[in-house]
Chain A
Amino acid sequence: MQNKSIIISIIILAVVIALAAVWYFYFRTPPETFTPATTPPLQQPAQSDKNTLSAGDKIADIAKDLDQTLDESAMNDELNSLDQNLKNF
Chain B
Amino acid sequence: MQKMKNIGKYAGVVCAIAALFLSISFVFAENATSTSKISDLNDRKQKFMQEANQRAASTTEKLKNIREEAQKRIEQKREEAQQKIAKIKDEKKKKQAEQIEKQFAHINQVWTDHFTKLLNHYDAVLQKIKTRTDKAAANGRDVSAVKTAIQNAETKIAAARTAVATQAGKIYTMDATAITSGVASSTTATGQNQIMKNFRAQFKAMREQLMKDLFALRDGAIKDAKTAVKNALQALSKVPKVDEEPTATSTPTGEND
Contact = CB atoms under 8 A, between A and B. Distances in A.
Q: Say whether chain A's binding surface is mostly helix, strand, loop, or mixed.
A: helix
B124 A45 contact: yes
A44 B114 contact: no
A65 B56 contact: no
A86 B203 contact: yes
Q: Say whether chain B's binding surface is mostly helix, strand, loop, or mixed.
A: helix
Interface in A20-35: 20, 22-23, 27-28, 31-34
Interface residues of B, number: 75
B10 A9 contact: yes
Interface in A57-89: 57-59, 61-63, 65-66, 68, 70, 72, 74-75, 78-79, 81-83, 85-86, 88-89
B42 A34 contact: yes
What are the 6 tightest A-B residue pairs by CB atom distance, in nearest-first order? A45-B56, A5-B7, A32-B39, A27-B28, A34-B38, A12-B14
Interface of B: 3-4, 7, 10-11, 14-15, 17-18, 21-22, 24-25, 28-29, 32, 35-36, 38-39, 41-42, 45, 49, 52-53, 55-57, 60, 93, 96-97, 99-100, 103-104, 106-107, 110-111, 114, 116-118, 120-125, 127-129, 131-132, 135, 196, 199-200, 203-204, 207, 211, 226, 229-230, 233, 236-237, 242-243, 245-246, 248
